[in-house]
Amino acid sequence: MSAPHASSTPGDALPDTRDLVGIGFGPANLALAIAIREHNGRRASGEAIRASFIERQADFGWHQGMLLEGATMQVSFLKDLVTMRDPGSPFSFLHYLQDRGRLADFINQKSFFPTRLEFHDYLRWCAASFTGQVDYATEAVEVRPAGPAGAADQLEVVTRPASGAGNGPQRAVRTRNLVLGTGLRPRVPDGVSTGPHIWHNRDLLHRTSGLTDRPHLRFVVVGAGQSAAESADHLHRTFPDAEVCAVFTRYGYSPADDSPFANRIFDPAAVDEFFRAPEEVKQQLIGYHSNTNYAVVDGDLIEHLYRTVYQEKVAGAERLRILNTTALVALEDLPDGARAVVRCLTTGETLTLDCDAVVLATGYRPTDPAELLGDLAEECLTDGQGRLRVGRDHRVETTDRVRAGIYVQGAAAEHTHGITASLLSTLAVRSGEICDSLLLRVAEREVRSTIAARTTGATGAAAAADGVPAHH
C-alpha cells in the first residue's frame, strides 16, 4: 500500500490569491490541509480550494523536546487527524501502520495508545504530502487588508525567513481567508527567564543531550502536571548518579480523570453543547472537568513514581525527592548550573538547591491573535471580557469592514468551544467544519458577484435607453 503523499489532487497549484492561508503548520492546520485535499479530490479543478501554509520551523515537528522514550499518548489512536471525520481516509493512523508494515504488530499490543514517538512519526508521514504547500522556516510578521478601501474582501499576509532575525527579505501573499493555528507558548513564572541551565520542559531532550558538565549532580523540576512528572521520571532514569527534586505546591500529583463519562467532554457533540451553553454554564463545565486535562498526571505514572520513591527509601539511597507543598521563590542562573530557592508552604522553611539545571514544567499560554493581526484586531468583535467572539464554524466575528474570513484553531477559542480547542480530540471533525465554512463562503461570494453583475447590467441597460454611455 502506498503512502498518501504519492499523489496530487486538483487545487495543488497555487494562484496569486489563495482561498486560504494558514499560519502555523502543527497538527491542527495539518488536519485542515488533509480535509481540503480530500475535498479537492472529489471536485473539478475549478471548484478546488487553493491553500498554503506558513511554518516557522524548518520542518514538521510536534513537541519534539518531549518525545521521551516510552511516553505514550493520552488519547486513542482513533482520534487521529481524520478518523472521526472520515474513517476511510488514507491519512488515518491505521493506514500509516499498514504503510510502515506494523499493523499486525500494533494490534498485538492490545492498546489504543501509541507511544508519543510513533504518533509523531505518523504526523510527519501525513505532513510529507504537503511539502509543496508549506513555506517552512518562514514566519508571518503582519496581516493587513488588501485591495481598495472599504470592505476588505482579501487579506495580505507578510512573511520573512524565520532565521532572518528581522532582516530577511519580506514577501506578501494575498488570501480570501486566514486560519491562525499558531499553537501555544511556554509559560514561565513571573520574573524568571530561561537560560543555559534554566529550561522550559519543551526543550528537555534538546538540552539534556548536550549536558556534559554536571558538577552538582542534581536537577530541579517545577510543576505538578503530566509534563512535570514525565520530566522528573526521565531525568531520574537518564542520569542514575543525580538527585531529582520535584517541586510543586500541591500535596501530591493529581490523577487525570479519564473515565468514560468524563471523557465525553472530548466528543465532537460536546462542542455543540458547550457552544450553545450560557456563559456561566461554560465556566462551570471547564471548572468541573479541568481535571481531565490541566495539571493532572496519568495514574500509572503516579504509581510508578511513588514506587520509585518508596523503593529508594528502603534501599537508603533517595535520588527522587518529592518536595510537595513547596513553592519556588527565587531562581538564579549560575556559571556552572542554577540555584533554586524553595519554601515549604506549611512550615515556612526555605531550602537552597544548587543544581545542574532547573526544568520549568509550568505549562503553556495561548498565542494572542491580536499580536499578528495588528490594526485588523480592532475589526474583530469581542465579548464583555475582551475575548474574541468566535462563531461555531471557528470564524472570528468581525465588523462589516472585513469580509475576508479569519479563523482560529487552538486555545484562543477555548472560551467558546471548550476544553478540546487546544487538544487533538476533535481535530478531524473541526477541520471538516472549517472546510465546510470555506465552501459556504465561496458560494456566498459567487452569489454577491452574480447580484453585482446583474445590477451593473440593469444599470447599463437603463442608461443606454436614456442615451447615456453605459461606461460612465
The residue with greater pLDDT, 367 or 397, is: 397
- The helix or strand, by DSSP H or E, that contains position 330, with its residue range, turns out to be strand 326-334
Phi-psi region of 170 (alpha: psi -120 to 50; beta: other; left: phi over 0): beta
Confidence of residue 472 (pLDDT cuts 50, 70, 90): very low
pLDDT tens digit sequence for 321-338: 999 999 999 999 999 999
Confidence of residue 469 (pLDDT cuts 50, 70, 90): very low
pLDDT tens digit sequence for 196-221: 999 999 999 999 988 989 999 999 99
* Beta-strand runs (E) in 123-176: 134-135, 138-146, 154-161, 171-175
Confidence of residue 470 (pLDDT cuts 50, 70, 90): very low
* Integer Cα distance of 328 and 341 in angstroms: 6
- Contact of 247 with 222, CB cutoff 8 Å: yes
Residue 140 vs residues 23, 161, 402: alpha-carbon distances, Å: 7, 9, 20
* Integer Cα distance of 247 and 224 in angstroms: 8
pLDDT at 149 over 70: no
Query: Model-level pTM?
Result: 0.90
By 3-state DSSP, what share of the chain in percent is helix, strand and coil, each rounded to 5?
A: 40, 20, 40
Taking each helix axis from N to C terminus, what angle separates 427-465 and 268-276, rounded to the nearest 10 degrees? Answer: 60
pLDDT tens digit sequence for 81-110: 999 999 999 999 999 999 999 999 999 999
Report which of 76, 471, 91, 100 is spatially closest to residue 267, judged by C-alpha positions: 76
For residue 402, the model assigns a pLDDT of: 93
How much is the average pLDDT of 129-148?
A: 92
For residue 72, the model assigns a pLDDT of: 94
pLDDT at 167 over 90: no
pLDDT tens digit sequence for 375-388: 999 999 999 899 99
pLDDT at 466 over 90: no
For residue 12, the model assigns a pLDDT of: 55
pLDDT at 313 over 90: yes
What is the percent of the chain where pLDDT is above 90?
Answer: 81
pLDDT tens digit sequence for 415-453: 999 999 999 999 999 999 999 999 988 777 666 667 766
Largest Cα separation within the chain, whole Å, is 105
In degrees and rounded to multiples of 5, residue 73 shows phi and psi of: -70, 155
- Give the contacts of 377 (CB within 8 A, at least 6 positions apart): 369, 370
pLDDT at 465 over 70: no
